[in-house]
Structure 1
């Protein structure tokens, strides 16, 4: 974070004691402390002399207000950042959301420092979530004024469309906002059945929530010093799938200028309308409410809705194999909001936005080593592939040199007979890396600019430590890029600190110019229609193509979205 100068702190504290100065034309700060000694105690030398007369030291947290077009925003100031929480939209259960027309704190709250309740999801206490969850957090550098014209970075959280929130670990946007000199915004959107399975058949409610979040930002961010013409949307995992969905929504195109997709499982594709209808019909049966019986639907408890969701997910693969196992509930290629699959199953539309696409070194390790906690005999590799792919694709994979058994794997701690080594590489390639590279080539071929990267340095995301592979030196598992980008690694190593600085510098430039190239770091070459030029993020040079050559994944071995034509 950027520290205040001694003079600024001293003058600010003196001013506060005499009644809330105007910091900018639209921003007013007030302190909650009434201690008359607070000014003197804040001065290092005098504070030492006063000693015990001074109250215990605390971080500076002051309430503040900003005048917006729809009312007065309330927030808190802390260490160079102003943070605001706001309800950006509201919605009745299973209805489309409406953009807020007045500025209000989340959950009908009165405390501007309170964080919003998360959207309903499994495995958290009922008191921690609310259906009234369409809120966002804004992190604004205190140097910004309404007359500023600063980039806006909108982060869409992941969680396989059934979990996650704006308050997830590592998503404090303070460091990122200061480092990139941008306003960082983290919205929430409806998840699971409440965002994806409206009994009346309406689709993409969660996606429409995010569009409304962008609309809200477009209408109000100028009051905080944001530039509506320089909005970059970004996300990781299912959050990146949401970003890809927004790229496929022509009606939302004017709301952002560039996009960043981190670890998007592009192999899955969007859901088809037919698959969505199959899931919807099954879900309506589980809640025992007809599509038109609104009274029945509103009478359901949230727990009933979530329990039915779990039951559906448990049987979804048997209902329609195209849902896969990773994200059975996804955005739907409905042909009206989303107008293109943005994959290789249909003509790719003409595009023009700059995008940045990245994956991590060991995307599939969290799943493979979490599911199989002991080494797998080599002769199990093909049967496992057959279950997860199909006989034809599995045979091609098994016979390829890309996934041959390692001659020795002592350096990684695995025996040469452990098939998890190949399975992890295979899963990483076809679900994330190669499908993302195919997308990048398509994007470039059809008019857009795209930069591709792979993280070879990461920070173990909370929860990932439960899988020993993910804590091994050199491992970078799914989600391990999040705290690097946000600069929220608790105790970064020198390598992590270096990559944090690099990525934040590159993201700042990308927000400003559409290119992540800065003089202090090696060139990041734009992808071409044949060579993605994937930069090794945290390492050196470019990433070897391996099985991600166009003639293998996507041709010799089709992606899931090609197999199921979704």
Structure 2
């Protein structure tokens, strides 16, 4: 009797391309044993075209090698439950629009799949750590998904006042978030400073277009990793959230993402106006000592020349025009071309359909105030600071309000930094965010607003005693809560991480941050007149305080974007 294995054996040799007897193991075994598994753990019989695929189990995870439409992606194990892929998503000549990569390439011409990309050019780093060729991203893919899974994607845009930061910043390992939310996480880099916003001939918003290029790249490749290109949420913190807001104001970018998350966006600044950008551009050109049309001069500029001029613009932009601000003199420009709306109270607010999630932290201004004033300040000095910073009549209206009144103590030792920090938090972050939420909800969109009452001290804040004391939640202290990267979380922090990631999971899938069948408090959406800002880290909702629509943002105390008409 002829065995089935003897019939299959010659067929197997043909299918494997063998021309002489082969041994699948070094030691003598039966053919049945020889046919059991390939090095990848799949039966060799499954290589035969007539063997039913139902009998041959397939891997449920893309693993560290994934075939994409633009080539094979090679990655590495990032954690116990996720893989990491570093990739160059685009390329751009200096002061030119970026182009989407049409082949899968590791960043910076690397051949090491475990290597991290160099940051975009910035003077905060050693030159060996950055490059102009920096349009890279890190993809974090949870194990257990297949190309048919169609999970959502969370694209994260780092902060850093548009002059610093990278995809490898502290706390931005997306593995834990990807696992907890069953999503693909993409942490993306973009051109910074003058390289991102200040071509000598006046063109701008290159950094905004870089993120659009990254999104187009994701549309091409994420289906291969198990992602659904119609379920991309863009998110960012601080200037990264400012970038998200800019993309919300770009009609041509709308198809690239379904929803947005804005954490600690300094909305008080507004976008730069075209006229102010022109002033800042003229100043930059004096720093590089090149006329706008002098291509020979411009082409001869070294990267150091550009970075030096960029730093000068950052340091002195507020002196060129007050609306430039001290923190973001290089930022998205309302050029009327790419960015067609101010998305603030200065111009008609456009109709919206996307769900957004907005959050701030309790002490956004903590680092700025307590690093500037390292010792307690008196009530009289507080009056001088407010008068100088806000000018009349805003200063007088602020000082006469009950919201920021410095208490009179028996020993006269009240530290007015408390009120100054609260005022800065309300002015730059909290109150304009609430105004934005009301505008968004009043024009068709859904907006969920949160306030972090608990956080994890971010590395930038460890040198600021105020930010390390119990009860403080400073700017950036939400990052490691969202990503689940806090090194030694307390039970309360662990519970908050679990809750926030569950809410983000629901938001990524449905546009609503209320997980089904959970015991968490209902997170209600804002309306055109009400902002029920949910406490994240404690129970209840935030008190309105100075964010009452009749106070900040009115003729009594206008936001900066209103004062400067931008």
What TM-score results when the alignment is normalised by the length of structure 1?
0.88
Equivalent position to 1:454, from 451, 455, 468:
451
Does the CA-based 8 Å contact 2:205-2:332 persist in structure 1? yes
Structure 1 equivalent of residue 19 of structure 2: none
The DSSP-based 3-state class of the residue aligned with 1:391 is: coil
Does the CA-based 8 Å contact 1:27-1:67 persist in structure 2? no
Q: After superposition, where does 1:488-499 map in structure 2 within 5 Å?
A: 488-499=485-496
Report the CA distance between 1:27 and its aligned residue: 7.0
Report the CA distance between 1:303 and its aligned residue: 1.7
The one-character-per-residue Cα deviations of 1:5-45 (angstroms, maximum 9, x if unpaired) are xxxxxxxxxx9x9634579679775xxxxxxxxxxxxxxxx
Does the CA-based 8 Å contact 1:20-1:28 persist in structure 2? no
Please state if 1:521 is matched with 2:520: yes
The one-character-per-residue Cα deviations of 1:319-354 (angstroms, maximum 9, x if unpaired) are 111111121111000001111000000110000110
Quick check: 383-392 or 214-223, which moved more? Answer: 383-392
Does the CA-based 8 Å contact 1:260-1:357 persist in structure 2? yes
Q: Separation in 2 of the partners of 1:520 and 1:499?
A: 13
Does the CA-based 8 Å contact 2:314-2:328 persist in structure 1? no
Q: After superposition, where does 1:302-341 map in structure 2 within 5 Å?
A: 302-341=303-342
Q: Separation in 2 of the partners of 1:513 and 1:256?
A: 13
Q: After superposition, where does 1:241-390 map in structure 2 within 5 Å?
A: 241-390=242-391
Does the CA-based 8 Å contact 1:27-1:66 persist in structure 2? no
Does the CA-based 8 Å contact 2:313-2:329 persist in structure 1? no
Structure 1 equivalent of residue 39 of structure 2: 19
Quick check: 299-308 or 136-145, which moved more? Answer: 299-308
Does the CA-based 8 Å contact 2:365-2:475 persist in structure 1? yes
Please state if 1:182 is matched with 2:183: yes
Structure 2 equivalent of residue 418 of structure 1: 415
Please state if 1:429 is matched with 2:426: yes
Does the CA-based 8 Å contact 1:232-1:260 persist in structure 2? yes
Structure 2 equivalent of residue 210 of structure 1: 211
The DSSP-based 3-state class of the residue aligned with 2:119 is: coil
When residues 26 and 80 of structure 1 are mapped into structure 2, their CA distance, relative to the original with a 3 A threshold, is closer
Report the CA distance between 1:386 and its aligned residue: 2.1
When residues 28 and 343 of structure 1 are mapped into structure 2, their CA distance, relative to the original with a 3 A threshold, is closer
Report the CA distance between 1:387 and its aligned residue: 2.0
The DSSP-based 3-state class of the residue aligned with 2:120 is: coil
The one-character-per-residue Cα deviations of 1:255-278 (angstroms, maximum 9, x if unpaired) are 111100000000000000011111
Structure 1 equivalent of residue 130 of structure 2: 129
Does the CA-based 8 Å contact 2:62-2:147 persist in structure 1? no
Q: Separation in 2 of the partners of 1:522 and 1:439?
A: 23
When residues 65 and 27 of structure 1 are mapped into structure 2, their CA distance, relative to the original with a 3 A threshold, is farther
Structure 1 equivalent of residue 18 of structure 2: none
Report the CA distance between 1:115 and its aligned residue: 0.4
Q: After superposition, where does 1:482-493 map in structure 2 within 5 Å?
A: 482-493=479-490
Report the CA distance between 1:408 and its aligned residue: 5.6
Q: Separation in 2 of the partners of 1:520 and 1:132?
A: 47
Please state if 1:102 is matched with 2:103: yes
Structure 2 equivalent of residue 46 of structure 1: none
The DSSP-based 3-state class of the residue aligned with 1:453 is: strand
Report the CA distance between 1:300 and its aligned residue: 1.8
Q: Separation in 2 of the partners of 1:293 and 1:137?
A: 38
Report the CA distance between 1:220 and its aligned residue: 1.3
The DSSP-based 3-state class of the residue aligned with 2:422 is: helix
The DSSP-based 3-state class of the residue aligned with 1:401 is: coil
Please state if 1:477 is matched with 2:478: no
Report the CA distance between 1:77 and its aligned residue: 2.1
Does the CA-based 8 Å contact 1:357-1:452 persist in structure 2? yes
Please state if 1:166 is matched with 2:163: no
Structure 1 gaps of 5+ residues are 1-14, 30-63
The DSSP-based 3-state class of the residue aligned with 1:352 is: coil
Does the CA-based 8 Å contact 1:153-1:184 persist in structure 2? yes
Structure 1 equivalent of residue 49 of structure 2: none
Aligned length: 513
The DSSP-based 3-state class of the residue aligned with 2:75 is: strand
The one-character-per-residue Cα deviations of 1:162-188 (angstroms, maximum 9, x if unpaired) are 000000000000000000000000110
The DSSP-based 3-state class of the residue aligned with 2:67 is: strand
Q: Separation in 2 of the partners of 1:434 and 1:533?
A: 13
Larger radius of gyration: 2
Quick check: 480-489 or 370-379, which moved more? Answer: 370-379
Cα RMSD after superposing both structures: 1.8
Structure 1 equivalent of residue 8 of structure 2: none
The DSSP-based 3-state class of the residue aligned with 1:338 is: coil
Please state if 1:73 is matched with 2:73: yes
Does the CA-based 8 Å contact 1:271-1:332 persist in structure 2? yes
Does the CA-based 8 Å contact 2:76-2:114 persist in structure 1? yes
When residues 24 and 340 of structure 1 are mapped into structure 2, their CA distance, relative to the original with a 3 A threshold, is farther
Q: Separation in 2 of the partners of 1:257 and 1:368?
A: 37
When residues 205 and 301 of structure 1 are mapped into structure 2, their CA distance, relative to the original with a 3 A threshold, is same
The DSSP-based 3-state class of the residue aligned with 1:463 is: helix
Does the CA-based 8 Å contact 1:231-1:258 persist in structure 2? yes
The DSSP-based 3-state class of the residue aligned with 2:76 is: strand
The DSSP-based 3-state class of the residue aligned with 1:154 is: strand
Q: Separation in 2 of the partners of 1:313 and 1:255?
A: 31
Report the CA distance between 1:309 and its aligned residue: 1.4
Does the CA-based 8 Å contact 1:137-1:185 persist in structure 2? yes
The one-character-per-residue Cα deviations of 1:390-419 (angstroms, maximum 9, x if unpaired) are 221000000000000135699xxxx85222
Structure 2 equivalent of residue 532 of structure 1: 531
Does the CA-based 8 Å contact 2:378-2:413 persist in structure 1? no
Structure 1 equivalent of residue 508 of structure 2: 511
When residues 154 and 408 of structure 1 are mapped into structure 2, their CA distance, relative to the original with a 3 A threshold, is farther
Quick check: 518-527 or 201-210, which moved more? Answer: 518-527
The one-character-per-residue Cα deviations of 1:426-455 (angstroms, maximum 9, x if unpaired) are 000010000000000000000000100100
Quick check: 400-409 or 93-102, which moved more? Answer: 400-409
Q: Separation in 2 of the partners of 1:227 and 1:526?
A: 26
What TM-score results when the alignment is normalised by the length of structure 2?
0.88
Q: Separation in 1 of the partners of 2:564 and 2:125?
A: 34
